[in-house]
Amino acid sequence: MKPNLTEILSSLNYQREIYPQWLEFHDRVEELIKWSAVVINSEPVDKKGINKFQGSHYNPADDEQRLTRQIGRVYAAINKADWLSLSEIADLTGDPEASISAQLRNLRKAEHGSHTIKVKRRGDRSSGLFEYKLSL
């Protein structure tokens, strides 16, 4: 039998009391859970020209609806949360990290709103881990 969300959070609260190093992890899990319902149910971003995608393999009939929804989920995730890594955005949206990275690049383009996406390193520089945030 799989544990439900209440059991998982209860376990994390116990870990938080016993092991102080769990504090940061626990808070990030709570943040991800908080926004996951918003992100999963998000509609495509309603911006002029948001549906314009490019690429040699892009076929509007096959890809436009899928990519529009995907960019909407990525936008909702970074719009509603603090700094997130690609894996955290993937946890929220259900999309692959490579697709999320591509959509973050797309959101910077004029045809997708010319958004400013802030990037910073997380943790040790040698880890190569970055996190992203929408600048409002």
What is the predicted pLDDT for the residue at 3? 58
pLDDT digits (tens, 9 = 90+) for 87-131: 999 998 999 999 999 999 999 988 888 899 999 999 888 889 999
Whether the model pTM is above 0.85:
no
The count of C-alpha atoms lying within 13 angstroms of the C-alpha of 1, restricted to the half-sphere facing its C-beta, is: 5
pLDDT, tens only, 11-25: 656 555 655 555 565
- Domain, as residue range, for 106: 5-135
How many domains, in total, are found in the chain?
Answer: 1
We report the CATH number of the domain holding residue 128 as 1.10.10.10
Identify the pLDDT of residue 111.
Answer: 81
Average pLDDT over residues 63-69: 87
Residues 6+ positions from 50 with CB-CB distance below 8 Å = 44, 68, 71, 111, 112, 113
Cβ count within 10 A of residue 75: 25
Higher pLDDT, residue 64 or 101: 101
Q: Give whole-number Cα distances, 67 to 36, 61, 77, 115, in Å.
A: 19, 11, 15, 17
pLDDT tens sequence across 32-55: 555 555 555 555 444 454 447 878
pLDDT at 135 over 80: yes
pLDDT of residue 49: 45
Instruction: Look at residue 125 and give its three-state secondary structure.
Output: helix
Q: How confident is the model at residue 59 (pLDDT cuts 50, 70, 90)?
A: confident
